[in-house]
Amino acid sequence: MTVHPLLTWEQVRYRQPKEAGMTWLATPSTSVTVLINLGEAFGGLPRAFVAGPTDRCGLVDEHGEIDCLDLKLTPLGAYRLFGVPVGELTNQVVDLAELGTIRPDRLHEDLLRLADRGPEPAPEVAQVWHRLTATHGNVPVGELAAEVGWSRRHLVNRFHAQVGLPPKTVARIMRFEELLRRLPGARRVAEVAAACGYYDQAHMNRDFREFAGTTPGAYLARFPSVQYPWVPAT
C-alpha cells in the first residue's frame, strides 16, 4: 500500500527562529496531527506527540525556536496506524511513544510498518467518511445510514469510534471549512452561506461563533492571515 491516502496533505518541516513567535486561531479539524520535534520540545508538550481531532476552537501560542516535522493524518489513517479508537484521541494530546514509533529519518518505512499491522476501518465507516468529504458535509446522517444499510444509531457509534467525532459534527466542521475557503473575496456572504449548505446567514453566524469564537466580519477583516494576536469576540 502507499502512505499518501493516510495523509490529509504531505508532511511539513516547520522551522521558527528563536526570536519569533505568534498566537493563532485554530478552528475545529477532523485531522490528526503527528508532531515530532527535531529540536527542543516546546509549549510544555512531549517531544513527539499526537493531537486528535477537535470540535472546538482555541488559541495556539507558539513562541521561541521550533524545528519539527508536522504530519497530518486522516482520522481513518490514524485509526489504521495506531490501532486505537480515534474517539480516545479527540481533543487530546498524547505522547507518540504511547501509540507507536515514527522516526523522522525513516518516516515512510515506519508509516508503512504501522499501517500494515493496523486494523482496517469498517468499509461502511470509510464510505460515509468519503461521502462527507466529497460533499463538504452536505448529506443528512439518516441518508448516510440508509446508504450503508445501518441504523442511524449504529452508524453514529461506529463512526464516532473510528473517526473520533459523530458524523453530524464532522459534517458541520467540513461545511465550515468549505465556508472559510470560499468567504475571502466573496461579494455576498449570504450567497456563500447558502452555497455551503447553511439555511440562512444566522445559521452560519452561529457556527462561526462556535467554531471560530468570532464573527464572519471580524474574521475577514484579519484575512488572509489568522496568525496574529487574536482576541475572541464577546
Residues 132 and 170 in one domain: yes
140: left (phi over 0), alpha (psi -120 to 50) or beta: beta
Residues 38 and 78 in one domain: yes
User: What residues have CB less than 8 Å from 7, skipping those under 6 apart?
Assistant: 71, 72, 73, 74, 77
CA distance 31 to 55: 11
The reply to whether 157 falls in a domain is yes
* Domain with 140 in it: 123-222
Task: Calculate what percentage of the chain has a pLDDT beyond 70.
Answer: 93
Residues 132 and 197 in one domain: yes
| Helix/strand number for the chain, H first, E second | 9, 7
Question: At 133, which CATH number?
Answer: 1.10.10.60
The reply to whether 231 falls in a domain is no
Residues 145 and 189 in one domain: yes
Number of domain units in the chain: 2
The reply to whether 233 falls in a domain is no
pLDDT digits (tens, 9 = 90+) for 121-172: 999 999 999 999 999 999 999 999 999 999 999 999 999 999 999 999 999 9
Between 21 and 141, residue with greater pLDDT:
141
Between 19 and 152, residue with greater pLDDT:
152
pLDDT digits (tens, 9 = 90+) for 109-134: 999 999 999 999 999 999 999 999 99
Looking at the whole model, is its pTM more than 0.85?
yes
Q: Say whether pLDDT at 63 is over 90.
A: no
Residues 8 and 24 in one domain: yes
